[in-house]
A and B are shown apart, each in its own frame.
Chain A
Amino acid sequence: MKPDPHASHLIHSQELRRLVALAQDQPLPALRVDTGRLHKAVAAARQTRNRRFMAIGGLALAAGLAGLALVNLDTSGRSQTTSPQGHVAQDMSPEPAAGRALARGVHVAQGEDTPSPTVLGAWEVGLAPGRYEVVVDPHPGPELLLARAAGGTVELHHGRVEIVVAASSAHASLREGVATWIAPDGARTPLTTKPGATAANTDPEPAAASTTDETVRGLARRAEALLTAGQRDAAIAVFTRITTVYADEPAARGALLDLAPLLKAAGRLDEARCAYLLYLDRYPGKAQLADDVRKALTRLGDGPACDGLRPR
């Protein structure tokens, strides 16, 4: 790949640009590796690997035999645990059914005259009509809390959500963190914090640049971890937050480019189209990727107009 002259625009320092150019222009030395030498090296590497596998296999076999001998010794003293076939009966029964409890770091508080939430699992609660505050502490894993209520479900990765549940509907307000509203038909809407919400309940956005940077960095890391864990929807929620709440941060551009294909892969084609259109709208000067984005838009075809990330 030939170094792209546009890449120098990434660098703000002239001195660093000069050093980068020197590194790029370094002449390639004469290469001594040829195919003959390479094939010999590959064959030697294979032999070494095979020997290693054989050694490991031998060790495993020895360990297995030793284990079998121990089992025989053990069963000789406790014949009641041996099955009719002579195999040792293993206790494969599940863990004793403990009372269901929420995972550590998950807290659900109900308002006055509101029934307690029903714990459906470590990461799942059912909410009856009333007022609730749901908090999930930041955690490195991909787990998502599902708070199920009449009219929809809140999926919360971390943060705090206030949920008001009525007989056949519910309203969720994200105070901080990353969450998604899932309608009964499966439609997903990322929740965003509303600056206009009650001041007492609204956490201020980080003001200092360094704090903001740390937050964006943390979100980017979390999104990466979620993607690695195969948690696409949760990653979408995090990228959506980066692109909406931290729209002026440099990382928002990359997040938008990550978000669009993820939305497409999730079958949310109109939202994917909106993400690409938002990219072109926000970053008109970034010609290097604009062609790729336009091609992606063409592949998605036509659709409704967009209001930011949302199709109208």
Chain B
Amino acid sequence: MATQDEYADEPQVLAAAQRGDKTAQSQIFTRYRERVARQLLRMVGDPMAVDDLLQEVFIAAFTALPRFRGDAQLATWLYAIATNRTRNWWDSQRRRRRREDIAANAPPAEVSTPEADLESQQQRARFYTALGRLPDKLREAFVARVLEGMNLIEASAALEVPISTVSYRTRRAEQLLCATLGIPWRDS
């Protein structure tokens, strides 16, 4: 992870990138690539989808960069773009699943990799299947607060909703997730 000093020149790099300087844009991409990729992975849970989504996020970001006014931090802005992109991804996933359910009702094929922990992989798949069934707004709040570990203020800025809304949605998402997974919401 980069230190604050490494990002000290960010205003200059950002200004150059906004003017269309490709070197500056490359710098931004290099700095944020892994961070955004990790966020995307936590949002969708599918490693195969990360590359395409990562590219989509940065295409959207560089296209909109001249309009970025610096109201939010660049990282927060990128997170918001990633959230929007994954919303589209979940929509297409739902459509695809519906088609598959109708066509075959077959379980998804397991990827056989020697080093994979099959049990963990199955558990993660189970978790993300349930996460994908949540309404977009609840899922986004849950991912930001729980998976990303943002505090209420950060999540509120990233999702552009009031803190109380983030709080409510996170709790509701947790309840629905537990119900979908068939596990008790509160341990006795």
A residues with CB within 8 A of B: 1-8, 10-16, 18-20, 22-24, 26-29, 31-33, 35, 37-39, 41-42, 45-46, 49, 216-217, 220-221, 223-224, 227, 239, 242, 250-255, 257-258, 288-289, 292
B123 within 8 Å of A by Cβ?
yes
**Interface contacts beyond A7-B146, A220-B162, A224-B161: sample of 8 additional A-B pairs, CB < 8 Å, sorted by A:** A12-B174, A12-B186, A16-B183, A31-B50, A239-B162, A254-B164, A254-B168, A258-B162
The answer on a CB contact under 8 Å between A31 and B54 is: yes
The answer on a CB contact under 8 Å between B164 and A15 is: no
- Choose one: A7, A19, A28; the contact of B41 (CB below 8 Å): A28
The answer on a CB contact under 8 Å between A1 and B178 is: no
Q: Mark B133-173, 1 if CB is under 8 A from A, else 0.
A: 00000000000011111111110100001111111101100
Q: A16-B183, A251-B164, A257-B163 are in contact. Are A23 and B50 (CB under 8 A)?
A: no
The answer on a CB contact under 8 Å between B126 and A49 is: no
Q: A1-B150, A23-B127, A220-B168 are in contact. Are A11 and B22 (CB under 8 A)?
A: no
Bound: A2/B156 CA distance, A: 17
> Chain A residues near B184 (CB, 8 Å)?
13, 15
Q: Mark B14-29, 1 if CB is under 8 A from A, else 0.
A: 0000000010011001
Q: A13-B185, A20-B146 are in contact. Are A26 and B59 (CB under 8 A)?
A: no
Bound: A20/B151 CA distance, A: 16
Q: A10-B170, A19-B126, A23-B127 are in contact. Are A3 and B149 (CB under 8 A)?
A: yes
Q: How many residues of B contact A (CB 8 A)?
A: 62
B47 within 8 Å of A by Cβ?
yes
Main SS at interface, chain B = helix
The answer on a CB contact under 8 Å between A35 and B30 is: yes
B187 within 8 Å of A by Cβ?
yes
Q: From residue A234, how far is it (CB to closest CB) to chain B in Å? A: 13
Bound: A258/B55 CA distance, A: 34
The answer on a CB contact under 8 Å between A15 and B149 is: no
Bound: A46/B150 CA distance, A: 34
List 29 interface pairs A-B (beta carbons < 8 Å), by A numbering.
A7-B145, A11-B146, A12-B185, A12-B186, A16-B178, A16-B183, A19-B181, A20-B146, A23-B128, A26-B124, A28-B47, A29-B47, A31-B37, A33-B51, A37-B55, A38-B29, A39-B26, A41-B59, A46-B63, A217-B168, A220-B165, A220-B168, A221-B165, A223-B162, A223-B164, A250-B167, A251-B164, A252-B164, A292-B151
> Chain B residues near A220 (CB, 8 Å)?
162, 164-165, 168
> Chain A residues near B153 (CB, 8 Å)?
257, 289, 292
The answer on a CB contact under 8 Å between A15 and B181 is: yes
Give B76's nearest chain A residue, CB to CB. Answer: A1
The answer on a CB contact under 8 Å between A33 and B146 is: no
The answer on a CB contact under 8 Å between A13 and B186 is: yes
Q: From residue A40, how far is it (CB to closest CB) to chain B in Å? A: 10
The answer on a CB contact under 8 Å between A31 and B164 is: no
B residues with CB within 8 A of A: 1, 22, 25-26, 29-30, 33-35, 37-39, 41-42, 45, 47-48, 50-51, 54-55, 58-59, 62-63, 75, 120, 123-124, 126-128, 145-154, 156, 161-168, 170-171, 174, 177-178, 181, 183-187
> Chain A residues near B171 (CB, 8 Å)?
250
- Choose one: A6, A32, A35, A257; the contact of B29 (CB below 8 Å): A35
- Choose one: A3, A28, A41; the contact of B34 (CB below 8 Å): A28
